[in-house]
Amino acid sequence: MTDDNRLLAGRYRLGELIGRGGMSNVYSGRDERLGRQVAIKLLKSSLAGDPVFRTRFRQEAQAASRMAHPTIVRVFDAGEERVAEAGGFEGIVPFIVMEFVEGRLLKDVIKEGALDSAEAIRITEGILTALEYSHRAGVVHRDIKPGNVMITHGGQVKVMDFGIARAISDSSATVAQTTAILGTAQYFSPEQARGESVDARTDLYSTGVVLFEMLTGEPPFKGETPVAVAYQHVSEMPVAPSSINMLVSPAIDQVVLHALAKDRFARFQSAVEFRTDLEIAGSGKIPSKRVPADDFQSSLFGAPPSLGQGVDSPLTQLAGDDEYAVRTQSRPPVVWIWAGIASVAVILVAIVFWVLTLQPSDQLPSSSREIPTVTGQTFDAADATLRQLDLVTARFDVYSDTVPEGQVVDTAPPSGTIVSPGTVINVNVSKGRQAVAVPNLTGQTTAAASAAITAAKFVVGQTIKENSPDIAADVVIRSDPASGSQGYAGDTINLVVSSGMVTVPDVAGQPIDVATSTLTGALLQVTVEQDPGCKTVVSNPVSSQSIAAGDAPQQSAITIRYCTGP
């Protein structure tokens, strides 16, 4: 029968088909009772043949419906619709009624190519915000992938299908059904691929895969079959996103590779931690390493809000422990107790023997790297040395007064530090000495000029006295090198300062008008007198001056006499 215009549960009117998946079809719809537009997901009837699935599905739909957050597509209702199938049989079609979101699936956005790093970070932060809320509510998504993330026309991120993957994976559904509900193996965590129990960190790994795909346009692992891809998630290390997209920074590389750690205790332990490091990397800084929390449950969630009481509590759901062993014997037999004591004793003796015979070794374990000394090398040589140790380099150009331009000054962390493979090492490369402009010292006192030289990281050199007619004593006339010229930190600056004296010229024999002009130019106080005793000479030459040629205090009074004839 056709799905068009069908009325579900006497309330929800199906509209046009707007999405198709491996385990469901999605329709636009209308809630006739409340008069609002909704999205209706019809699960395939093959999934409903298992009564365990139907029970689990109702429980998980109820849990998801209690989550109200702007980054999560709301679940309004869920139920089952009985339909007549071919052959006269009556089938059951489970359905869920969700918030209708106008926008695009993230998988369709990625098909157009890699996203800008800033946009990829923004979308990932939205996914992590949704996961932070759901994890604190005790709900693990288990199927984070681009097909489950909507981007509204306004750019808001919304995550959907919370709880549905849990319903499938915890039921007795077939492997094919489970694969359909959990999506392709490209977004599996290693623990999912191994069939182990999952927790919140599984969602964080899948989010790391989605971030990798947004940055590069392709997932970190690809293969001809889902089994081949799942094997890579378990056994192979992903490449850095920057090896595919050179625009990705080393800081973002580190965050992605941290999220994709095989060991769940080595990756991010919470959505908050993941989002915080992503914000730091987005600002261009390298996030600091974190030590995994001792108690994952308490450090990740604290005291989460309960979705129900009893044995199936949120923390139990996160751990995947829905089955409990029942003890049928009050305590183990006495023989077992003594056997256990003997075993512990043997182990203690072996440990003591091993410690006493342990020889010191300089060899590092394969999971550790010691940062070598690369000071004085070119960046290319240092980069090659560090990459051979599986370390990631980030170049920073700095000024150095001691290391020649183009050579490595130092690294951060410094040489000799023990780090893990993949750690980002900041390599500081010398730009040579930093050029500094000589400050303007003219007109300053000797003390003030010396202080300015020291503040500009120069060295005060010689102080040379020089006569000046108009500059007061101990005031700078000029500097060597001159003000405004370029120098380097540590260079010597010499000062030429006024002696407070003026140089008196010898004007004897000069015409009186020329002599008067010369002495006035030296700012001397000139008095002119006649000398009738000397023989008349053309232009009235100077016959004598009261201050001999040489040094005299500034503004000195000088008298000159000139010949007038008998």
Q: Tell me which of 50, 77, 116, 143 is the catalytic residue.
A: 143
Buried residues in 341-361 as b, exposed as e (16+ CB within 10 A): eeeeeeeeeeeeeeeeeeeee
In this prediction, residue 257 carries a pLDDT of: 95
DSSP codes joined into one string, 486-503:
EEETT-EEEEEEE-SEEE
How far, in Å, CA of 168 to CA of 170, rounded?
6
Q: Residue 565 carries which DSSP code?
A: -
CATH 2.40.100.10 fits 503-563, yes or no: no
In this prediction, residue 312 carries a pLDDT of: 40
Which tokens is 82 given? 């009985």
In this prediction, residue 549 carries a pLDDT of: 87
How far, in Å, CA of 311 to CA of 408, rounded?
60
Residue span(s) of the chain under CATH 3.30.200.20 come to 7-99
Whole-prediction pTM value?
A: 0.51
How open is the CA angle 384-388-394, to the nearest 5 degrees?
A: 55
Q: How many residues can be counted in the chain?
A: 566
* Domain 369-430 CATH class label: alpha beta
In this prediction, residue 165 carries a pLDDT of: 54
How open is the CA angle 399-402-406, to the nearest 5 degrees?
A: 55
143 is catalytic: yes
Mean pLDDT by 10 residues, the chain (566 residues): 70 87 82 91 72 70 79 87 66 85 92 93 95 88 90 92 60 40 72 88 95 95 88 91 93 94 93 94 82 42 37 34 36 69 88 73 65 92 90 89 90 88 89 86 90 88 89 90 84 90 88 86 85 73 85 89 78
Residue span(s) of the chain under CATH 3.30.10.20 come to 369-430, 435-499, 503-563
Which tokens is 392 given? 């990631």
Query: Which residues have C-beta within 8 Å of that of residue 83, sequence separation ≥ 6?
Result: 1, 45, 90, 91, 92, 93
What topology is assigned to 435-499 in CATH?
Trypsin Inhibitor V; Chain A (3.30.10)
Residue span(s) of the chain under CATH 1.10.510.10 come to 103-293
Q: Where are the alpha helices (DSSP H) in 86-143?
A: 106-111, 117-136
In this prediction, residue 38 carries a pLDDT of: 93
CATH architecture for residues 103-293:
Orthogonal Bundle (1.10)
Structure-token match 């008998």, residue found:
566
In this prediction, residue 519 carries a pLDDT of: 86
What topology is assigned to 7-99 in CATH?
Phosphorylase Kinase; domain 1 (3.30.200)
- Beta bridge mates, 425: 393
Helix orientation angle between 271-282 and 117-136, rounded to the nearest 10 degrees:
160
- Which one, of 396, 395, 371, 393, lies nearest residue 384 by Cα? 393
How open is the CA angle 272-218-164, to the nearest 5 degrees?
A: 55
Which backbone phi and psi does 392 adopt, to 5 degrees?
-100, 135
Which tokens is 206 given? 């899948």
